[in-house]
Amino acid sequence: MTTIRHFTASAIVFDDHERVLLVHHNKLGQWLYPGGHVDPNEDPAQAALREVLEETGVTARIVCDPPFAHPAVTVHAPPYTILEMQVSDSTIGIHRHIDLVYVLQALSGELTAQLEEVSATQWVPIADVAGLNTPAELPTLVADAAQWAKTRR
């Protein structure tokens, strides 16, 4: 049996007040960080930034260590982590997402939910994420990413 895999990009977005940006996903009924499929001719970092803007109205910048640079090659911002998970939808059925997760720093924007995909957007204090209906790994991932980002902002 062939495993179907899709590449997705997501963003754990922090503001200057120790809060993370979450969206309430319509199909899943849970709080998540923004993200989605990588479009053709788009690199994963561009996809993460686009998804944040589309789903929430927030513009942001990627937080990362300075990447290797050389004029002979294009270097892309590295993700914070890469997760693989099983998902299911009515069109494709069961398949896998390889999710490149970036950490972002919010720059500007007024919260505006993209109602086709998310029912709400919210800045949540990092300490409060564990009390929400989220995927099991999300509270720990957000807390770890917040600690990592503090040394790189």
Q: What is the pTM of this model?
A: 0.92
Q: What are phi and psi of 96, to 5 degrees?
A: -115, 145
Query: CB neighbours of 44 closer than 8 A, spacing ≥ 6?
Result: 7, 9, 38, 76, 79, 100, 102
CA-nearest of 97, 78, 100, 95 to 9 is 100
Ranges in the chain, pLDDT < 70: 1, 153
Q: In the beta sheet, which residues pair with residue 47?
A: none
- The pLDDT tens digits of the residues spanning 95-125 come to 888 999 999 999 998 888 888 888 999 999 9
